[in-house]
């Protein structure tokens, strides 16, 4: 479940709460309708093969099939933030044990910064941020500039 939530979040530059709240009716022909919980910004995140695969993964690993929820717990109801955080921490510990040479000192929210940094188009529009300053907070990519 952690992988699916992480992928959906990355593809959409969405906060964990917005992904956990996704319902089936938000999946449209154009993409995923997301109203950001924090800002109220409404966007449709268009389908990409990677986003479709993430949604398919989330649906395929549900133990109790949920008609309404994209991400559900074992009973088919909303997966709470605390339950997800527990799974996230458990997955990080397992990864650290498997790869002790790697650093795992990051949070789930860092995924949003990675998503925005990796995006090649209009980062402000993609992220849904109102100001360029907020985009700059998340965009960790160093600019490559032309020389003469």
Residue 144 lies in a domain: no
Q: Assign 78 to helix, strand or coil.
A: strand
CATH number of the domain at 100, please.
1.10.443.10
Q: Which residue range forms the structural domain that includes residue 35?
A: 2-138
Residue 69 lies in a domain: yes
Prediction pTM value: 0.85
List Cβ neighbours of 1 (8 Å cut-off, separation of 6 or more). 58, 61, 71, 79, 84, 87
pLDDT digits (tens, 9 = 90+) for 59-105: 888 776 767 899 988 888 899 999 999 999 999 999 999 999 998 88
Residue 92 sits at the vertex; the CA angle it makes with 79 and 60, to the nearest 5 degrees, is 45
Tell me the mean pLDDT in the region 5-16. Answer: 94
What would the two tokens of residue 86 be?
């527990």
Q: Give the rounded percent of residues in the chain with a pLDDT score beyond 90.
A: 52
- Contact, 17 vs 71, CB < 8 A? no
- Contact, 71 vs 22, CB < 8 A? yes
Determine the Cα–Cα distance for residues 11 and 32; give it in Å rounded to an integer.
Answer: 11
Residue 145 lies in a domain: no
pLDDT digits (tens, 9 = 90+) for 18-33: 999 999 999 999 999 9
Residue 148 lies in a domain: no
| Number of domains the chain is built from | 1
């Amino acid at each position: 479940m952690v992988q699916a939530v992480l992928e959906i979040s990355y593809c959409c530059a969405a906060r964990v709460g917005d992904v956990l709240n996704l319902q089936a009716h938000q999946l449209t022909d154009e993409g995923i309708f997301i109203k950001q919980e924090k800002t109220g910004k409404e966007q449709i995140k268009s389908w990409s093969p990677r986003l479709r695969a993430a949604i398919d993964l989330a649906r395929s690993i549900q133990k109790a099939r949920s008609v309404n929820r994209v991400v559900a717990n074992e009973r088919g109801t909303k997966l709470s933030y605390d339950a997800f955080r527990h799974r996230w921490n458990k997955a990080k510990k397992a990864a650290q044990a498997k790869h002790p040479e790697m650093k795992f000192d990051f949070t789930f929210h860092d995924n949003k910064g990675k998503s925005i940094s990796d995006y090649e188009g209009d980062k402000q529009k993609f992220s849904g941020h109102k100001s360029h300053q907020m985009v700059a907070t998340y965009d960790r990519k160093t600019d490559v500039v032309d020389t003469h």
